[in-house]
Structure formats: structure tokens, C-alpha cells
Amino acid sequence: MNRSVLGLLFTALLIALPNGAAFADPDIGCGLGTQIWTGSKGIAPKVLGATTNGTFGNQTFGITSGTIGCHQGGTVTADAKVQIFTGANLDRLARDMAQGGGETLDAFASLLGIRAEDKPAFFRLTQARFADLYAGDAVTAGAMLASLERAMAGDERLASYLDRG
């Protein structure tokens, strides 16, 4: 097969894949990799999906065209920074949360906007709720953040840090 036929087939595949964000994985974003690995569990499919999303500009194409699980609307938010930081530091955060403090947890708290006077309460909460935050062997950044939000919502002092908008 020549290159033009392969390019045409690849483009047709991208357009034919389901539209919308329903299949998008919050950890790896949208794109062909998310579509291919939808429903797969574990670190390997997430790494492969994220790698595929970043390959050949398919995530950019999806966002631009509104296809392959991407959507054109929306705003880049601080939440994206929190997701990226959490994904990159999930193991270090687990260590610090289990210990009730540490450099990575302090940086994470700062990224969440936790004021210095509330950090000790935040550290105690993450240590006390560690089993909920890191439930299971294959916890993802998204799952940990969802559990953390629930834990913070139940704490009178820390609930004020949750984005209610």
C-alpha cells in the first residue's frame, strides 16, 4: 500500500470513531489512544494510550475537529495542572500521605491552594483517609483525586477549598 492510501485509511478511521467526550479517560485525555484502549485497566494500557494520543498529532487533530473522543469547547484550568501533577507523582504522594507529610504532599497542597495554616489539617486528613485515597492496587490519579474531594467535602475546614463552580 502506498502512503496516500494509508493516510486516507487513517483519516477515515479517525473520522469514523465515536464522537464526544464520553469515552475520554481523564488521566490520558482524548485521542486515538483513548479510543483504542477504552475499557482496558492497568498501567500498560494507560501508558500506551497516552503515548498514542501524543503520536502523529492525533490528539491535536481530535481537539481541532471535535472527533476521536475530543471536544472543542472548554477552558484549560488549574484542575488540569492538578491532574498532571498527581499522575506524575502518584507514588510519591502515596508515601507522603501515608507518613502525614513530605515535600511532594506540601507541593500538592500548594497546587490545590491550601493555605499554610490549613496544611497541617490537610496532611492529617490525607493520612487518616489514606486507605480510601489509595484503595486497590491499580489506583489512578483520577480515582485518588475523586476520593480526596469526597474526603475534603466531609471536613468543615477543608471543604472551602473545593471548586463549587
* Domain boundaries of the chain, sorted by first residue: 3-17+29-65, 78-161
Where is average pLDDT lowest: 58-67, 109-118, 150-159?
Answer: 58-67
Task: Give pTM, 2 decimals.
Answer: 0.55
> Average pLDDT in the 151-161 region?
93
Which helix H or strand E contains 108, and what residues bound it?
helix 103-111
- CA–CA separation, 1 and 33 (whole Å): 23
- Confidence check: pLDDT of 164 > 90: no
User: What confidence score (pLDDT) does residue 17 get?
Assistant: 41
> Nearest Cα to 58, choosing from 78, 38, 30?
30
Neighbouring residues of 108: CB distance < 8 A, sequence distance ≥ 6:
85, 86, 89, 93, 96
Which of residues 74 and 134 earns the better pLDDT score?
134
**Whether the Cβ atoms of residue 50 and residue 84 lie closer than 8 Å to each other:** no
